[in-house]
A and B are shown apart, each in its own frame.
Chain A
Amino acid sequence: MPRRTSQREKEPRADDAGKPIGIASTERDMTARNREAENLRRLATVVKDSNDAITIQDFEGRITAWNRGAELMYGYSEEEALARNIKQLTTPGKVEEQEDFTRRLIAGEAITSFETQRVTKDGRVLDVWMTVTKLVDDAGKPIGIASTERDMTARKREAENLERSNKELEQFAYVASHDLQEPLRMVASYTQLLERRYKDQLDDTAREFIAFAVDGASRMQRLINDLLAYSRVHTRAGEPELVELSHVLGQARANLATAIEESGALVTNDELPVVMADPAQMVSVFQNLIGNAVKFRGEEPPHVHVSARERDGWVEISVRDNGIGIREEHHDRIFVIFQRLHNRKDYPGTGVGLALCKRIIERHGGRISVDSEEGKGTTLTFTLPEGRQEDQPT
């Protein structure tokens, strides 16, 4: 509660009937004014101690105020700064920009925040996010520019690094898919040709050896292709759009038709919502999850059920099966690329499927988790942003 400076007794005012309608206005004004002064003092402290650089310059660029954040960011003490012009902090390429927004501010234009660059005392170039406003005196006469600058250099570099490493990963994947497959094809093709042409001259052992060589090569090809798909989740994705999950599920089922038929699996679903997502990637997620449910089946014919519920603007999708289940100690491992829990003979696969699902769901801002016990089936649940009509691009 703000302190009251007035020592006077309160003088309640009453209407003609004697009903109180307020307190003496003089005191109320004093309190309001004091509160304002207090707020200004607090704001001044915030400005002074802010980690953002907050500065004031006149229209010629002479620096007239310089907070602690500016000292830390640019390396000039307040004293040094006040003797300088803002141009000394401007990179050569941004001089025109500085002149331009000064002119526009004087003309009365409101300028939103923008990204620019500044030079520190020791010559480092910083990427900063700048907000500029025109300052006026009590008479409303423009007197200068207040500027708030946030150092974005580290964040920007991080974003650039991430983008670069995604690109490098895809580049690697392309090389892997093409250059590694070429020698692989040589191994597989020529061993097969050997078998084809010289079958009569080979004994059972020789044919067995050839079978191992061919199997190894084709397994490696599958690994390479899966790795390629994994690496492309970020770089080759489409923009999210409104997607009817029931269509996506239908597509995934069609792709798995053979496996579903052969296992006698029953795939059922609740009514499914519309989400914001990349449709091709959603097909891939359902195909992997349902494919797993069918592959890791128990004694009973597989039953896979897809359900959905909405929660705080998010859609939660669950794929539940009656398969062999996963022991709790393995729950984290299943989402790691190339991790497998079974031998290849019983359950073939590359160990990429769930890692791919996780990467896709996380790219959409969602989460994926597992709920399972050995012998009691598995439920994989993921979240996606809800699709609303206004999200539809026109």
Chain B
Amino acid sequence: MKQLVDVIEILLVEDNEGDARLTQEALTETKVANKLHWVEDGEEAMEFLLRKGKHANVPRPHVILLDLNLPKKDGREVLAEIKKDPGLRRIPVVILTASEAETDILKTYDLHANCYITKPIDLDQFLKVVKAIESFWLTIVKLPNSRSL
């Protein structure tokens, strides 16, 4: 049977501190209890997901918010690696980026991103991103095996 978790674990992969903080602020306005884990580049994101090094004891995130343009390993590579890994590929990935370039959009959908959101300049719109994450939350609790991995 469904077993509700208390806190939604969110992994945010974002190199811009201002954006990270803004996401955090937006999440404080949502009703869903959440914990935000922030990593600054693609390499660290994979270490977090594979629980390597200092990330040995981190929880498995319920949803990943992924920026596309990142230092070291960029968001497209991270996305491709997540979707290739049988242990990770069911985690919903929300692409969060400032790029409106259509090639980015097509390419990330080709890589099975679950959702693509252009970072809005307007704060109210940014808060809608949080609502999108809430809806993923609802999806997650309906997925029978999502937490058993």
Interface residue ranges, A against B (CB under 8 Å): 174, 177-178, 181-182, 184-186, 188-190, 192-193, 196, 217-218, 221, 225, 228, 236
Contact = CB atoms under 8 A, between A and B. Distances in A.
Contacts of A174: 99, 101
A288 B138 CA distance: 41
Given A190-B22, A218-B121, A225-B100, A178 B69 contact: yes
Majority secondary structure of chain B interface residues (helix, strand, loop or mixed): loop
Contacts of B144: none
A236 B103 CA distance: 10
Contacts of A236: 102
**Nearest 9 pairs between A and B by C-beta?**
A192-B123, A186-B18, A181-B98, A188-B121, A221-B121, A189-B123, A185-B121, A178-B99, A178-B98
10 contacts: A174-B99, A174-B101, A177-B100, A185-B120, A186-B19, A189-B121, A192-B123, A192-B124, A193-B22, A193-B123
Contact of A189 (B69, B99, B101, B126): B126
B131 interface: no
Interface residues of B, number: 18
B70 to A, nearest CB: 12
A231 B121 CA distance: 22
A217 B121 CA distance: 8
Contact of A185 (B69, B99, B100, B119): B119
B22 A189 contact: yes
B122 A190 contact: no
Contacts of A182: 16, 19, 98
B16 A196 contact: no
Contacts of A196: 123
A62 B22 CA distance: 77
Contacts of A189: 18, 22, 121, 123, 126
A225 B121 CA distance: 12
Contacts of B119: 185
Contacts of B22: 189-190, 193
A178 B102 CA distance: 13
